[in-house]
Structure formats: C-alpha cells, structure tokens
Amino acid sequence: MDESQIQELRRARLADAIQKMCNGNVTAFGRLLGYSGGAYVRQMLLGNRAVSEKTVRHIEGLRGMHGWFSLTAMHDDMARGFDFGAGPDIYQFFPVELRLRPDAAGYTVWPDETDEDVPLSLHKHWLARRGYVPTSLLALRLRSGGMEPSLNIGDIFVINTAEVELRDGQVFVVNFYGELLVRRAQRDDGGWWLAADNLDQVRWPRKAFGGPQCVPIGRLVFKQSESI
C-alpha cells in the first residue's frame, strides 16, 4: 500500500476508535488525546491532516486499543467492502449491526454481513447544515414491523448517536434490556414511553421508558426506503 491508501485506512480506523471510545463524540476523543477540543481530530478525519505515527502510538496506548492500527486490522476493514476513497465531500455509510447486552449501556458495531446494497451517501453540506458529525452517524437496517408504515422492514435508516436525549415525537433507537428497539418517544403523564407506529397495538404495545437497562443509542435522522 502507498501512503495515500494507508492514510485512508487510518482515517477509517480513527473514526471507529472515536465511536468505540467516545460513542462518536469527536470533542471528547480529542480531549482524551490531550487536545483542547475536537478540531485537530476533525482535520484528520477530513484528510486535511495526516494521521501520524505519533497519533497512532498515542491511540494504541489507550486502554483496550492495543494494535488498533495494525496492518491486520486495516486489511480486515478493506475486506468489509467499505469505500474509504470517496473523498471529503461525500460520506458513505454501510448498514451495520449493533450487538447489545442487557446489563450494559454500550454496544459493539459489526458489519451487516447480509448486506448487498451500495452504500448510503450523504453530502458534507447536507450534514453541516444539520450539525451532524459523520463519525456520530450509523446506518442500520430495519428488521421488524413495529414502525410500519413510517418505516418498513428492509428500510435503511441513519441514527445520530450524539443525540440521546429523548424528544417528544421523535424516533429513537433504544437498548431496551438488551433488545434493539426502534420506537417513537412519547411524553405522557409525566413519563416517557416508547411507542410503535404500527396500528396493531396488541402486537406492538408501547413500553414504559426508564431504568438503567433502558438506554437511548441515537435519534433517527434519515431514511432510505423503497416503499411509497
């Protein structure tokens, strides 16, 4: 691999590190590296600054990050089929799967092995106008019918993991006791509820939100659907 390819792969691994260590919060990750904020890290993500050997060693010195930028890890990234050469104007998102645990607030991100689609592409201007940071976004595929007709099985949607404060009427992905729920947040009688859009409320009843094992993962900000 030449230097440009190495930098593309390092940027991809950097984005994954930010998601792993700080749930996509670039500012928090920058401070973890000793910077005052996330500006320097964002420049690396955009390709305006190189991901240097010093930065690589610093990140790999963090707990749980040993070997993060190894050639083996970067080759594994390439094998997933991600296109890291789209350039700074277009950000591409391949659907992923989230592995959850009922006793943990976090999650791990895995590639969607069954996915055969081209990536979902969003322009940086579209993201910037809405204040979305690309490294905070995840693309998921809907696998249940609870949100029909708003979302249909097979639809691809994007969540912003930087938005975990419930908002009335907005759709969120929630770790509900180890189950991944896509539901609309509802404020009712002083409490929060997770409601399905499906009219079959017997099969898809709304659930009370609360407790340490009920954790929002992100707000739905974009969908791609073949249903009209």
Residue 80's pLDDT is: 44
Residue 159's pLDDT is: 96
- List pLDDT tens digits, range 30-43: 999 999 888 888 88
Residue 218's pLDDT is: 94
- At residue 159, the 3 state secondary structure works out as strand
pTM over 0.75: no
Task: Please count the other Cβ atoms lying within 10 Å of the Cβ belonging to residue 109.
Answer: 13
Cα 143 from Cα 18, distance rounded (Å): 27
Q: Which residues pair with 141 in a beta bridge?
A: 156
Cα 40 from Cα 94, distance rounded (Å): 26
Q: With a cut of 70, which residues of the chain have pLDDT below it? A: 1, 71-88, 103-105, 113-118
Please give the sequence-ordered ranges of beta strands (E in DSSP) within 65-212, or none if there are none.
90-93, 96-100, 107-111, 120-123, 137-141, 156-160, 171-176, 179-188, 191-195, 207-208
20 phi and psi, to 5 degrees?
Answer: -70, -45
Residue 101's pLDDT is: 78
Contacts of 17 (CB under 8 A, 6+ apart): 29, 59, 65, 68
